[in-house]
């Protein structure tokens, strides 16, 4: 951001303002102005407290409140003049207030930008987490809806990207609902540590004035579930702590990784090779060269953007590493990483929900893939186990059966009675039933498994948790 004016002399300590190039280098208002709501709300609470302890008169408080409201209105309407020579959002607002209202000069009593910025950041992250948790819920609902609509569709489940065992596509999607539930919980846990009030820590060593921290904490809703104010308990920690930003970035990075995996499944499934799903046209793009293409760019970008989230987390950790106590200007570098993480993760969660809602399933292709009898090789081993064969031996026998079928160039379920008998005398004529996919899906009864009944039970659980539409 170019600064128009020569910066003002900062205080009695300085004869001149900083060099122009320094102002440009150190300013943060070009990006931290995003904290303006939190900054004003924080100042309103602080001013109220200052009045309650007699630092401000009632009249001065009203003037400050009016002044801050007017500034808020102007910022909201895009009419406020941000001045980079004032460095940051905090100074811009305070300087403008003081220019209009002389009592503004008292607002910074017992406060430093160090505890002020810590407060603003906590307020900002708190609001962001609350919104994001709602968006995660929306995506979970979309996934549960998808699972419900396709309850009868069975696909191969994969390990090593090789066909492994059959699973309902619903079970596959509910796996992501579980991941998102943990993400939701992680943000909830982080919120508990975000929601602590640092104001009153001053620059690093509190204040000699008789402030009322509890009152400020209450006004700003930094309270526990029993309505008791929650205050940071070490002023040096409070002004230098950005753990809460790291936690937010870490939870976001992990959420991003989960979304990236989901996106990757959609990319694979929508390829001609899999052809399990068709992504909604409006969530795909064409190629500038190849007229036939319909590319899953949205899913790819979600996958790609998760890299930014991981990068932001690494950047934040690196900024903090090795900082001596307590506040250091390095901390100003936390903001762009935080804002980028918040914007990126929110956009990704937000776009996945409608895309999944409108994705259709190619039931024929799924049935064809899930009809591969080799997917039931493990069921075949279990069949022998039920007839008293030790599992290791059963595993070996079924392996031989698969090899035989491959050698004969026929599907596993097309071996003849005598071929089964030669493999093991334990194979009876009922062995054919093992290959009935419908029955196979009903045989799976374990909790957390892909059996149809269990998947239905899980869907019910999610409907209760999510209050699904």
Contact residues for ligand ARG (CB under 6 A)?
28, 32, 88, 113-114, 117, 327, 329, 331-332
Q: At closest approach, how far in Å is the CB of 326 from ligand ARG? A: 10
The count of residues in the chain is 469
Q: Which is nearer to ligand ARG, 84 or 229 (CB)?
A: 84
Whole-angstrom distance, CA of residue 445 vs CA of residue 402: 26
Decide: 220 and 270 in contact? Cβ < 8 Å: no
Q: At closest approach, how far in Å is the CB of 117 from ligand ARG? A: 4
Q: Which is nearer to ligand ARG, 38 or 332 (CB)?
A: 332
Cβ burial of 134 (10 Å; 0-12, 13-18, 19+) is exposed
Whole-angstrom distance, CA of residue 200 vs CA of residue 230: 12
Q: At closest approach, how far in Å is the CB of 264 from ligand ARG? A: 37
Q: At closest approach, how far in Å is the CB of 32 from ligand ARG? A: 6
Helix (H) or strand (E) holding 156: strand 154-159
Q: At closest approach, how far in Å is the CB of 123 from ligand ARG? A: 14
Please give the DSSP secondary-structure letter assigned to residue 151.
T
Tokens 């090795």 sit on residue: 322
If we measure between CA atoms, which residue out of 183, 121, 196 comes closest to residue 346?
183
CA 122 and chain centroid, separation: 17
Whole-angstrom distance, CA of residue 467 vs CA of residue 198: 36
Q: Which is nearer to ligand ARG, 92 or 352 (CB)?
A: 92
Widest distance between CA atoms in the chain:
102
- Which residue of the set 160, 272, 418, 429 is catalytic? 160
Q: At closest approach, how far in Å is the CB of 333 from ligand ARG? A: 8
Whole-angstrom distance, CA of residue 115 vs CA of residue 45: 14
Decide: 366 and 331 in contact? Cβ < 8 Å: no
Helix (H) or strand (E) holding 48: helix 36-52
Whole-angstrom distance, CA of residue 98 vs CA of residue 287: 57
Q: Where are the beta strands (DSSP E) in 206-305?
A: 277-278
Q: Which is nearer to ligand ARG, 89 or 173 (CB)?
A: 89
- Which residue of the set 112, 240, 272, 287 is catalytic? 287
If we measure between CA atoms, which residue out of 94, 114, 111 comes closest to residue 330?
114
The yes-or-no answer on residue 287 being catalytic is yes
Specify which residues 163 forms β-bridges with. 158
Q: Which is nearer to ligand ARG, 113 or 444 (CB)?
A: 113
| The two structure tokens encoding residue 334 | 């936390």
The yes-or-no answer on residue 288 being catalytic is no
Whole-angstrom distance, CA of residue 242 vs CA of residue 466: 32
Decide: 412 and 377 in contact? Cβ < 8 Å: yes
Q: Which is nearer to ligand ARG, 28 or 359 (CB)?
A: 28
Whole-angstrom distance, CA of residue 322 vs CA of residue 331: 12
Q: Which is nearer to ligand ARG, 88 or 241 (CB)?
A: 88
Q: Which is nearer to ligand ARG, 204 or 215 (CB)?
A: 204
CB atoms within 10 A of CB 366: 23
Q: At what angle do helices 243-269 and 297-320 cross, to 10 degrees?
A: 160
Q: Which is nearer to ligand ARG, 331 or 352 (CB)?
A: 331
Residue 361, CB-side half-sphere exposure with 13 Å CA sphere: 22
Q: At closest approach, how far in Å is the CB of 327 from ligand ARG? A: 6
Q: At closest approach, how far in Å is the CB of 246 from ligand ARG? A: 15
If we measure between CA atoms, which residue out of 97, 124, 121, 100 comes closest to residue 108?
97
As annotated, the active-site residues are 160, 287
């Amino acid at each position: 951001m170019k600064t128009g004016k020569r910066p003002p002399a900062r205080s009695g300590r300085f004869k001149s303002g900083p060099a122009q190039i320094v102002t440009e280098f150190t300013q943060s208002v070009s990006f931290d102005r995003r904290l303006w709501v939190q900054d004003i709300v924080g100042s309103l609470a602080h001013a109220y407290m200052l009045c309650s302890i007699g630092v401000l008169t009632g009249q001065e408080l009203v003037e400050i409140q009016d002044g801050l409201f007017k500034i808020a209105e102007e910022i909201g309407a895009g009419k406020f003049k941000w001045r980079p020579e004032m460095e940051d959002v905090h100074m811009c607002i305070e300087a403008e207030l003081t220019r209009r209202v002389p009592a503004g000069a008292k607002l910074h009593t017992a406060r430093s930008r160090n505890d002020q910025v810590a407060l603003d950041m906590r307020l900002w992250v708190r609001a962001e987490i609350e919104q994001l948790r709602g968006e995660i819920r929306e995506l979970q609902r979309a996934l549960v809806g998808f699972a419900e609509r396709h309850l009868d569709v069975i696909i191969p489940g994969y390990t090593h990207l090789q066909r492994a065992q059959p699973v309902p596509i619903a079970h596959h999607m509910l796996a992501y609902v579980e991941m998102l539930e943990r993400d939701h919980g992680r943000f909830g846990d982080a919120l508990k540590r975000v929601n602590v009030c640092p104001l009153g820590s001053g620059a690093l060593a509190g204040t000699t004035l008789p402030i009322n921290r509890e009152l400020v904490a209450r006004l700003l809703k930094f309270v526990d579930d029993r309505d008791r104010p929650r205050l940071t308990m070490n002023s040096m920690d409070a002004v230098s702590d950005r753990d809460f930003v790291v936690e937010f970035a870490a939870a976001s990075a992990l959420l991003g990784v989960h979304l990236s995996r989901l996106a990757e499944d959609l990319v694979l499934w929508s390829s001609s090779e899999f052809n399990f799903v068709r992504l909604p046209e409006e969530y795909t793009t064409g190629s500038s060269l190849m007229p036939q293409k319909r590319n899953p760019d949205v899913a790819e970008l979600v996958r790609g953007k998760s890299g930014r989230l991981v990068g932001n987390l690494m950047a934040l950790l690196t900024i903090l590493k090795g900082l001596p106590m307590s506040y250091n200007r390095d901390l100003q570098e936390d903001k762009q990483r935080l804002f980028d993480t918040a914007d990126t993760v929110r956009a990704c969660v937000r776009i996945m929900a409608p895309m999944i809602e409108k994705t259709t399933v190619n039931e024929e292709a799924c049935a064809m893939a899930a009809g591969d009898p080799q997917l039931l090789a493990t069921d075949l081993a279990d069949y022998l186990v039920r007839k008293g064969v030790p599992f290791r031996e059963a595993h070996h026998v079924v392996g031989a059966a698969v090899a035989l079928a491959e050698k004969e160039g026929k599907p596993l379920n097309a071996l003849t009675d005598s071929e089964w008998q030669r493999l093991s005398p334990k194979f009876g004529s009922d062995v054919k039933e093992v290959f009935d996919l419908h029955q196979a899906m009903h045989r799976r009864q374990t909790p957390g498994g892909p059996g149809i009944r269990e998947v239905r039970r899980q869907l019910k659980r999610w409907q209760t948790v999510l209050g699904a539409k």
